[in-house]
């Protein structure tokens, strides 16, 4: 599809609003993977609290992988959906250990972006957003995680069709953004979605993209559940 606005123009405007966003390494790949699983269907504050409790409760990844699932669920209960996320985290850790002999995902940096993404998405419970978070935040690779804010803002701008699901938006948006700008684009749209282009009552009157946006003044709530 043809984008209604130029993504470069969008990013230029948002850089003026939120600064020139530079990539910084977050966690190691395995930690980033576990944290992103914890972040599914919850907010950053709760997932961060659950992650901190998990690391405080267990000595290392082996201890988490081999613990009774109830103990892991109790450690991460602050993040929500603990009964679903605990076995998922354990299954992921056990798969990595079985296939790599250690909790080491550094080999992904040597693969193509699509190859690394495919490997991650073969892990239990890992979809395109989780895979993209690991690739972008742990490795600095040009994968674009599409969370609820990126999805909502992109739809309102016409960068993706309203008929496109959150999962299917990943390759469509990645194709429109220069690799060097992927991190800045991702973070800028999240900031914009949180502070201005909110789900309810977006502040179009003070939006730096208002004159570019086909939805300005009429954007309603966009609900997204896909992860």
pLDDT tens by residue, 18-49: 988 888 878 899 999 999 999 999 988 999 99
pLDDT of the residue at 20: 82
Sign of CA dihedral 71, 73, 74, 75: positive
**Residue 102 burial (C-beta neighbours within 10 Å; 0-12, 13-18, 19+):** exposed
Say if pTM beats, i.e. exceeds, 0.85. Answer: yes
User: Quick one: pLDDT band at residue 84, thresholds 50, 70, 90?
Assistant: very high
pLDDT the model gives residue 4: 61
Judge whether 7-21+145-206 and 29-139 match in fold: no
Of the pLDDT bands very low, low, confident and very high (cuts 50, 70, 90), residue 199 is: very high
What residues does each domain of the chain span? 7-21+145-206, 29-139
User: Could you tell me if 216 and 203 are in contact, meaning their C-beta atoms sit under 8 angstroms apart?
Assistant: no
Mean pLDDT in the chain? Answer: 92
**Are residues 40 and 85 in contact, defined by beta-carbon separation less than 8 angstroms?**
yes
Tell whether the model's pLDDT for residue 224 goes beyond 90. Answer: no
Of the chain, the percentage scoring pLDDT greater than 90 comes to 86
What average pLDDT score do residues 97-123 get? 96
As a whole number of Å, the end-to-end CA separation of the chain is 22
Give the pLDDT of residue 116. 98
Mean pLDDT of 119-144: 96
Question: Across residues 188-210, what is the average pLDDT?
Answer: 96
The CATH architecture of the domain made up of 7-21+145-206 is: Orthogonal Bundle (1.10)
Q: What is the distance between the alpha carbons of residues 195 and 69, in angstroms, rounded to a whole number?
A: 38
pLDDT band at 226 (very low <50, low <70, confident <90, very high): very low
Taking residues 56-69, report their average pLDDT: 98
Q: Mind listing the pLDDT tens digit for each residue in 126-136?
A: 999 999 999 99
The matching CATH number, chosen from 1.25.40.390, 1.50.10.20, 2.60.120.580, 1.10.340.30, for 29-139 is 1.10.340.30
> Does 1 score more than 50 pLDDT?
no
pLDDT of residue 25: 76
């Amino acid at each position: 599809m043809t984008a209604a606005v130029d993504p470069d123009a969008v990013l230029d405007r948002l850089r003026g609003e939120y600064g020139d966003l530079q990539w910084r390494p977050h966690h190691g790949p395995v930690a980033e993977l576990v944290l992103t699983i914890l972040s599914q269907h919850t907010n950053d504050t709760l997932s961060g609290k659950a992650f901190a409790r998990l690391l405080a409760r267990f000595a290392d990844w082996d201890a988490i992988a081999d613990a009774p699932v109830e103990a892991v669920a109790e450690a991460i209960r602050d993040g929500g959906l603990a009964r679903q996320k605990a076995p998922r985290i354990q299954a992921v850790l056990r798969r990595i250990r079985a296939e790599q002999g250690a909790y080491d995902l550094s080999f992904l940096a040597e693969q193509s972006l699509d190859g690394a993404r495919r490997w991650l998405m073969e892990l239990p419970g890992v979809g395109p957003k989780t895979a993209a978070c690991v690739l972008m935040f742990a490795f600095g690779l040009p994968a674009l995680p599409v969370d609820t804010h990126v999805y909502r803002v992109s739809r309102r701008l016409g960068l993706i069709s309203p008929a496109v699901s959150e999962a299917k938006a990943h390759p469509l948006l990645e194709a429109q953004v220069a690799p060097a700008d992927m991190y800045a684009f991702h973070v800028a749209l999240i900031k914009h979605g949180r502070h201005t282009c909110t789900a309810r009552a977006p502040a179009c009157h003070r939006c730096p993209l208002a004159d570019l946006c086909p939805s300005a003044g009429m954007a309603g709530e966009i609900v997204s559940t896909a992860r």
